[in-house]
Protein backbone atom coordinates (compact mmCIF):
# COMPACT_ATOMS: atom_id res chain seq x y z
CA UNK A 1 0.00 0.00 0.00
CA UNK A 2 2.66 2.51 1.06
CA UNK A 3 4.92 1.51 -1.84
CA UNK A 4 2.08 2.06 -4.36
CA UNK A 5 1.54 5.58 -3.04
CA UNK A 6 5.24 6.43 -3.02
CA UNK A 7 5.77 5.13 -6.54
CA UNK A 8 2.87 7.32 -7.67
CA UNK A 9 0.61 4.52 -8.82
CA UNK A 10 -2.08 5.46 -6.32
CA UNK A 11 -3.05 8.61 -4.50
CA UNK A 12 -3.45 8.41 -0.73
CA UNK A 13 -7.21 8.77 -1.03
CA UNK A 14 -7.37 6.09 -3.75
CA UNK A 15 -5.18 3.74 -1.66
CA UNK A 16 -7.42 4.26 1.36
CA UNK A 17 -10.52 3.31 -0.66
CA UNK A 18 -8.78 0.36 -2.30
CA UNK A 19 -7.52 -1.18 0.95
CA UNK A 20 -10.51 -0.17 3.10
CA UNK A 21 -8.65 2.02 5.58
CA UNK A 22 -8.67 5.70 6.45
CA UNK A 23 -6.41 8.26 4.79
CA UNK A 24 -4.73 8.77 8.16
CA UNK A 25 -3.65 5.11 8.22
CA UNK A 26 -2.24 5.41 4.69
CA UNK A 27 -0.28 8.52 5.71
CA UNK A 28 1.15 6.73 8.74
CA UNK A 29 2.41 3.78 6.69
CA UNK A 30 3.89 6.09 4.08
CA UNK A 31 5.78 8.01 6.79
CA UNK A 32 7.11 4.77 8.28
CA UNK A 33 8.26 3.57 4.86
CA UNK A 34 10.00 6.84 4.13
CA UNK A 35 11.73 6.82 7.54
CA UNK A 36 12.61 3.14 7.88
CA UNK A 37 12.23 1.52 4.46
CA UNK A 38 10.80 -1.98 4.21
CA UNK A 39 11.77 -2.69 7.85
CA UNK A 40 9.15 -0.16 8.92
CA UNK A 41 6.41 -2.23 7.32
CA UNK A 42 6.67 -5.02 9.90
CA UNK A 43 3.93 -5.30 12.53
CA UNK A 44 4.82 -3.75 15.87
CA UNK A 45 3.17 -3.56 19.29
CA UNK A 46 0.72 -0.74 19.89
CA UNK A 47 1.87 -0.56 23.52
CA UNK A 48 3.09 2.94 24.53
CA UNK A 49 6.81 3.29 25.14
CA UNK A 50 6.20 5.16 28.40
CA UNK A 51 3.49 4.07 30.89
CA UNK A 52 3.48 6.32 34.00
CA UNK A 53 0.58 4.43 35.58
CA UNK A 54 2.20 1.01 35.32
CA UNK A 55 2.42 -1.05 38.52
CA UNK A 56 5.75 -0.59 40.31
CA UNK A 57 8.33 -3.36 40.08
CA UNK A 58 8.34 -3.99 43.83
CA UNK A 59 4.57 -4.53 43.87
CA UNK A 60 4.76 -6.74 40.77
CA UNK A 61 7.51 -8.84 42.37
CA UNK A 62 5.41 -9.36 45.49
CA UNK A 63 2.38 -10.37 43.41
CA UNK A 64 4.48 -12.93 41.55
CA UNK A 65 6.00 -14.24 44.81
CA UNK A 66 2.56 -14.80 46.34
CA UNK A 67 1.31 -16.43 43.15
CA UNK A 68 4.19 -18.91 43.28
CA UNK A 69 2.82 -19.90 46.68
CA UNK A 70 -0.44 -20.69 44.85
CA UNK A 71 -2.45 -17.78 46.20
CA UNK A 72 -5.58 -16.88 44.25
CA UNK A 73 -5.82 -13.58 42.38
CA UNK A 74 -8.39 -12.11 44.77
CA UNK A 75 -6.39 -13.15 47.82
CA UNK A 76 -3.28 -11.50 46.38
CA UNK A 77 -5.23 -8.32 45.59
CA UNK A 78 -6.42 -8.00 49.20
CA UNK A 79 -2.99 -8.76 50.63
CA UNK A 80 -1.05 -6.36 48.39
CA UNK A 81 -3.70 -3.64 48.29
CA UNK A 82 -4.29 -3.45 44.53
CA UNK A 83 -7.26 -4.28 42.32
CA UNK A 84 -7.88 -7.82 41.00
CA UNK A 85 -7.46 -6.40 37.47
CA UNK A 86 -3.94 -5.21 38.35
CA UNK A 87 -3.08 -8.63 39.72
CA UNK A 88 -4.43 -10.20 36.55
CA UNK A 89 -2.29 -7.99 34.29
CA UNK A 90 0.87 -8.64 36.31
CA UNK A 91 0.31 -12.40 36.29
CA UNK A 92 -0.34 -12.44 32.56
CA UNK A 93 2.92 -10.58 31.91
CA UNK A 94 4.74 -13.06 34.15
CA UNK A 95 3.12 -16.08 32.45
CA UNK A 96 1.48 -17.18 35.72
CA UNK A 97 -2.15 -16.55 34.81
CA UNK A 98 -3.06 -20.23 35.19
CA UNK A 99 -2.17 -22.26 38.29
CA UNK A 100 -0.80 -25.04 36.12
CA UNK A 101 1.82 -22.59 34.79
CA UNK A 102 3.41 -22.37 38.24
CA UNK A 103 6.43 -24.55 38.79
CA UNK A 104 5.81 -27.54 41.08
CA UNK A 105 6.27 -26.62 44.72
CA UNK A 106 9.61 -27.47 46.27
CA UNK A 107 9.60 -30.56 48.46
CA UNK A 108 8.85 -29.63 52.06
CA UNK A 109 12.03 -29.77 54.10
CA UNK A 110 10.90 -30.89 57.52
CA UNK A 111 13.14 -30.29 60.48
CA UNK A 112 12.90 -30.80 64.19
CA UNK A 113 15.14 -29.61 66.98
CA UNK A 114 16.66 -32.38 69.07
CA UNK A 115 15.96 -31.03 72.55
CA UNK A 116 13.01 -29.10 74.04
CA UNK A 117 13.79 -25.41 74.40
CA UNK A 118 16.25 -25.20 71.50
CA UNK A 119 13.64 -23.14 69.65
CA UNK A 120 10.10 -21.95 70.19
CA UNK A 121 7.93 -20.57 67.40
CA UNK A 122 5.77 -17.52 68.15
CA UNK A 123 2.91 -16.08 66.09
CA UNK A 124 -0.35 -14.11 66.46
CA UNK A 125 -3.89 -14.79 65.24
CA UNK A 126 -6.49 -12.00 65.10
CA UNK A 127 -10.02 -13.01 66.10
CA UNK A 128 -13.19 -10.94 66.17
CA UNK A 129 -14.95 -10.43 69.47
CA UNK A 130 -18.67 -11.18 69.63
CA UNK A 131 -21.52 -10.68 72.06
CA UNK A 132 -23.88 -13.35 70.76
CA UNK A 133 -23.74 -16.57 68.77
CA UNK A 134 -22.62 -15.80 65.24
CA UNK A 135 -24.43 -16.26 61.94
CA UNK A 136 -22.47 -19.44 61.19
CA UNK A 137 -24.62 -21.10 63.86
CA UNK A 138 -27.85 -19.12 63.69
CA UNK A 139 -27.97 -18.89 59.90
CA UNK A 140 -29.12 -15.26 60.17
CA UNK A 141 -26.43 -12.80 58.95
CA UNK A 142 -28.17 -9.82 60.56
CA UNK A 143 -29.11 -11.28 63.92
CA UNK A 144 -25.71 -12.88 64.42
CA UNK A 145 -23.61 -9.73 64.01
CA UNK A 146 -21.88 -8.06 66.95
CA UNK A 147 -21.18 -4.63 65.54
CA UNK A 148 -18.41 -2.67 67.20
CA UNK A 149 -17.33 -5.58 69.42
CA UNK A 150 -13.72 -5.16 68.32
CA UNK A 151 -10.87 -7.65 68.08
CA UNK A 152 -8.71 -9.79 70.31
CA UNK A 153 -5.32 -11.24 69.49
CA UNK A 154 -4.31 -14.80 70.24
CA UNK A 155 -0.55 -14.96 70.85
CA UNK A 156 0.80 -18.50 70.52
CA UNK A 157 4.11 -20.22 71.23
CA UNK A 158 5.03 -23.82 70.41
CA UNK A 159 8.22 -25.69 71.21
CA UNK A 160 9.89 -27.11 68.12
CA UNK A 161 11.01 -30.42 69.63
CA UNK A 162 8.18 -31.31 72.00
CA UNK A 163 5.25 -29.39 70.44
CA UNK A 164 4.28 -28.16 73.92
CA UNK A 165 2.21 -25.02 73.33
CA UNK A 166 1.44 -21.88 75.27
CA UNK A 167 -1.07 -19.18 74.39
CA UNK A 168 -2.63 -16.00 75.74
CA UNK A 169 -5.33 -13.67 74.46
CA UNK A 170 -4.13 -10.05 74.53
CA UNK A 171 -5.80 -6.79 73.43
CA UNK A 172 -3.43 -6.03 70.54
CA UNK A 173 -0.38 -7.13 68.55
CA UNK A 174 1.88 -4.21 69.47
CA UNK A 175 5.35 -4.43 70.94
CA UNK A 176 4.18 -4.15 74.58
CA UNK A 177 1.90 -7.16 74.22
CA UNK A 178 4.50 -9.11 72.22
CA UNK A 179 7.13 -8.56 74.93
CA UNK A 180 4.72 -9.44 77.73
CA UNK A 181 3.75 -12.66 75.95
CA UNK A 182 7.38 -13.59 75.29
CA UNK A 183 8.21 -13.27 79.00
CA UNK A 184 5.11 -15.25 79.99
CA UNK A 185 5.98 -18.01 77.51
CA UNK A 186 9.56 -18.31 78.76
CA UNK A 187 8.28 -18.49 82.33
CA UNK A 188 5.78 -21.20 81.37
CA UNK A 189 8.41 -23.40 79.74
CA UNK A 190 10.73 -22.82 82.70
CA UNK A 191 7.99 -24.14 84.99
CA UNK A 192 8.23 -27.41 83.04
CA UNK A 193 12.01 -27.49 83.38
CA UNK A 194 12.61 -26.31 79.81
CA UNK A 195 15.19 -23.59 79.15
CA UNK A 196 14.46 -21.74 75.90
CA UNK A 197 17.47 -20.53 73.89
CA UNK A 198 15.98 -19.45 70.55
CA UNK A 199 12.75 -17.87 69.39
CA UNK A 200 11.47 -17.70 65.81
CA UNK A 201 8.90 -15.13 64.63
CA UNK A 202 7.71 -13.60 61.39
CA UNK A 203 8.56 -10.04 60.37
CA UNK A 204 5.65 -8.31 62.09
CA UNK A 205 6.36 -4.80 63.35
CA UNK A 206 6.09 -5.85 67.01
CA UNK A 207 8.84 -8.43 66.48
CA UNK A 208 11.08 -5.92 64.68
CA UNK A 209 10.78 -3.42 67.51
CA UNK A 210 13.66 -2.39 69.77
CA UNK A 211 11.62 -3.42 72.79
CA UNK A 212 11.32 -7.01 71.56
CA UNK A 213 15.02 -7.13 70.69
CA UNK A 214 15.91 -5.91 74.19
CA UNK A 215 13.61 -8.48 75.78
CA UNK A 216 15.36 -11.25 73.82
CA UNK A 217 18.77 -10.00 74.97
CA UNK A 218 17.63 -9.77 78.59
CA UNK A 219 16.26 -13.32 78.44
CA UNK A 220 19.36 -14.67 76.71
CA UNK A 221 17.45 -15.61 73.55
CA UNK A 222 18.64 -15.69 69.99
CA UNK A 223 15.90 -14.14 67.83
CA UNK A 224 15.40 -15.61 64.34
CA UNK A 225 12.96 -14.10 61.84
CA UNK A 226 11.48 -15.85 58.84
CA UNK A 227 12.19 -14.85 55.26
CA UNK A 228 9.58 -12.47 53.78
CA UNK A 229 6.56 -14.17 52.15
CA UNK A 230 7.57 -17.64 53.38
CA UNK A 231 5.15 -18.49 56.21
CA UNK A 232 6.10 -22.17 55.93
CA UNK A 233 9.40 -21.31 57.66
CA UNK A 234 7.34 -20.79 60.82
CA UNK A 235 5.11 -23.68 59.88
CA UNK A 236 4.78 -25.27 63.31
CA UNK A 237 3.17 -22.10 64.69
CA UNK A 238 0.94 -21.81 61.61
CA UNK A 239 -0.13 -25.41 61.97
CA UNK A 240 -0.84 -25.01 65.68
CA UNK A 241 -3.03 -21.99 64.96
CA UNK A 242 -5.06 -24.03 62.46
CA UNK A 243 -5.53 -26.76 65.05
CA UNK A 244 -6.53 -24.25 67.73
CA UNK A 245 -9.10 -22.62 65.46
CA UNK A 246 -10.60 -25.97 64.52
CA UNK A 247 -10.62 -27.60 67.97
CA UNK A 248 -11.10 -24.57 70.22
CA UNK A 249 -12.21 -21.28 68.60
CA UNK A 250 -14.74 -22.72 66.14
CA UNK A 251 -15.46 -26.05 67.81
CA UNK A 252 -18.30 -24.84 70.07
CA UNK A 253 -21.15 -22.34 69.70
CA UNK A 254 -19.87 -20.04 72.44
CA UNK A 255 -22.45 -17.49 73.65
CA UNK A 256 -19.81 -14.74 73.50
CA UNK A 257 -16.07 -14.25 73.06
CA UNK A 258 -15.45 -14.13 76.84
CA UNK A 259 -16.65 -17.73 77.12
CA UNK A 260 -14.38 -18.64 74.22
CA UNK A 261 -11.41 -17.01 75.95
CA UNK A 262 -12.15 -18.85 79.20
CA UNK A 263 -12.05 -22.16 77.33
CA UNK A 264 -8.57 -21.58 75.88
CA UNK A 265 -6.55 -22.71 78.97
CA UNK A 266 -8.75 -25.82 79.23
CA UNK A 267 -8.13 -26.73 75.61
CA UNK A 268 -4.40 -25.99 75.92
CA UNK A 269 -4.10 -28.40 78.85
CA UNK A 270 -5.85 -31.08 76.83
CA UNK A 271 -3.57 -30.36 73.85
CA UNK A 272 -0.33 -30.58 75.85
CA UNK A 273 -1.18 -33.41 78.24
CA UNK A 274 -3.82 -35.65 76.66
CA UNK A 275 -4.30 -35.09 72.93
CA UNK A 276 -2.41 -37.62 70.72
CA UNK A 277 -0.09 -35.77 68.31
CA UNK A 278 0.41 -37.21 64.83
CA UNK A 279 4.08 -36.27 64.55
CA UNK A 280 4.85 -37.68 68.02
CA UNK A 281 3.71 -41.25 67.29
CA UNK A 282 0.25 -40.47 68.72
CA UNK A 283 1.64 -39.42 72.09
CA UNK A 284 0.87 -36.08 73.77
CA UNK A 285 3.52 -33.33 73.63
CA UNK A 286 4.32 -33.58 77.36
CA UNK A 287 5.71 -37.08 76.70
CA UNK A 288 8.71 -35.49 74.95
CA UNK A 289 10.01 -34.03 78.22
CA UNK A 290 10.98 -37.44 79.52
CA UNK A 291 9.76 -36.66 83.02
CA UNK A 292 9.42 -39.34 85.65
CA UNK A 293 5.88 -40.26 86.69
CA UNK A 294 6.09 -38.42 90.01
CA UNK A 295 7.21 -35.24 88.25
CA UNK A 296 4.37 -35.57 85.76
CA UNK A 297 1.87 -35.86 88.60
CA UNK A 298 3.38 -32.80 90.27
CA UNK A 299 3.06 -30.69 87.12
CA UNK A 300 -0.34 -32.04 86.05
CA UNK A 301 -3.18 -29.86 87.23
201 plus 71 within the same structural domain:
no
Mean per-residue pLDDT, 30-56: 70
pLDDT at 110: 60
Domain end call among 101, 129, 153: 101
pLDDT at 73: 87
Residue 106 falls inside a structural domain: no
Percentage of the chain modeled with pLDDT above 90: 42
Tally DSSP H helices, then E strands, for the chain. Answer: 12, 5
Residue 49 falls inside a structural domain: no
For 157, which DSSP code?
E
> Of the given ranges (66-70, 87-91, 271-275), which has the lowest mean pLDDT?
66-70
pLDDT at 230: 66
Mean per-residue pLDDT, 7-17: 65
pLDDT of 253 above 60: yes
67 plus 35 within the same structural domain:
no
Gap between the Cα atoms of 56 and 90, Å rounded: 10
Residue 285 falls inside a structural domain: yes
21 plus 62 within the same structural domain:
no
Q: How far is CA 146 from CA 11, 124, 132, 134, 256, in A?
A: 76, 22, 7, 8, 10
Q: How far is CA 295 from CA 86, 191, 223, 284, 292, in A?
A: 59, 12, 31, 16, 5
Beta-bridge partner residues of 168: 155
160 plus 273 within the same structural domain:
yes
pLDDT at 101: 76
Percentage of the chain modeled with pLDDT above 70: 77
> Of the given ranges (87-91, 145-149, 237-241), which has the lowest mean pLDDT?
145-149
pLDDT of 64 above 80: yes
Over residues 95-149, the pLDDT tens digits come to 887 877 776 655 555 667 789 999 999 999 999 998 877 655 556 565 555 566 7
CB 174 within 8 A of CB 211: no
Residue 292 falls inside a structural domain: yes
87 plus 127 within the same structural domain:
no
Closest CA to 178 of 198, 148, 154: 154
Query: For residues 147 and 152, which has the higher predicted lDDT (pLDDT)?
Result: 152
172 plus 77 within the same structural domain:
no
Residue 209 falls inside a structural domain: yes
The most confident of 127-131, 209-213, 252-256, by mean pLDDT:
209-213
pLDDT at 40: 63
pLDDT of 8 above 70: no
pLDDT at 13: 74
For the chain, the domain total comes to 3
69 plus 7 within the same structural domain:
no
94 plus 232 within the same structural domain:
no
Burial group, residue 117, by CB count within 10 angstroms (0-12, 13-18, 19+): buried
Residue 67 falls inside a structural domain: yes
26 plus 143 within the same structural domain:
no
Query: For residues 193 and 293, which has the higher predicted lDDT (pLDDT)?
Result: 193
Q: Residue 282's pLDDT band (boundaries 50, 70, 90)?
A: confident
| CATH code assigned at 218 | 3.30.420.10
75 plus 160 within the same structural domain:
no
Over residues 181-199, the pLDDT tens digits come to 999 999 999 999 999 999 9
| Angle, alpha carbons 246-251-257 (nearest 5°) | 105
Q: Which domain holds residue 148?
A: 120-299
276 plus 137 within the same structural domain:
yes
pLDDT at 121: 96
pLDDT at 205: 94
pLDDT of 283 above 60: yes
Q: Residue 42's pLDDT band (boundaries 50, 70, 90)?
A: low
Element (H, E) at 188: helix 175-191
Whether this model's pTM surpasses 0.75 = no
Q: Please count the other Cβ atoms lying within 10 Å of the Cβ belonging to residue 63.
A: 26
Gap between the Cα atoms of 62 and 75, Å rounded: 13
Residue 235 falls inside a structural domain: yes
pLDDT of 241 above 80: yes
Mean per-residue pLDDT, 41-58: 71
Closest CA to 164 of 15, 272, 36: 272
pLDDT at 56: 80
**Mean pLDDT value across the chain:** 83
Residue 84 falls inside a structural domain: yes
Q: Render 82-144 in DSSP notation, one character per residue.
A: S-HHHHHHHHHHHT-SSGGGSPPPPPP-----SSTTS-EEEEEEEEE--SS--HHHHS-TTTT
Q: Residue 235's pLDDT band (boundaries 50, 70, 90)?
A: confident
Gap between the Cα atoms of 193 and 74, Å rounded: 46
206 plus 294 within the same structural domain:
yes
Amino acid sequence: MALSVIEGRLSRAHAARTYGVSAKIVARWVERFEAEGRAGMADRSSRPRVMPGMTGQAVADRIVALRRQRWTGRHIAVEVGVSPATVSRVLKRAGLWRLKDIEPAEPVKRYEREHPGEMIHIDIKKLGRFERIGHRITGDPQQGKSRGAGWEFVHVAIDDASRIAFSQILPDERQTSAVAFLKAAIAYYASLGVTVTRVMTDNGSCYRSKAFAKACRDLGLRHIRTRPYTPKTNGKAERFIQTALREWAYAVAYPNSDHRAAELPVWLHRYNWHRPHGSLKSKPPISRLGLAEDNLLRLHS
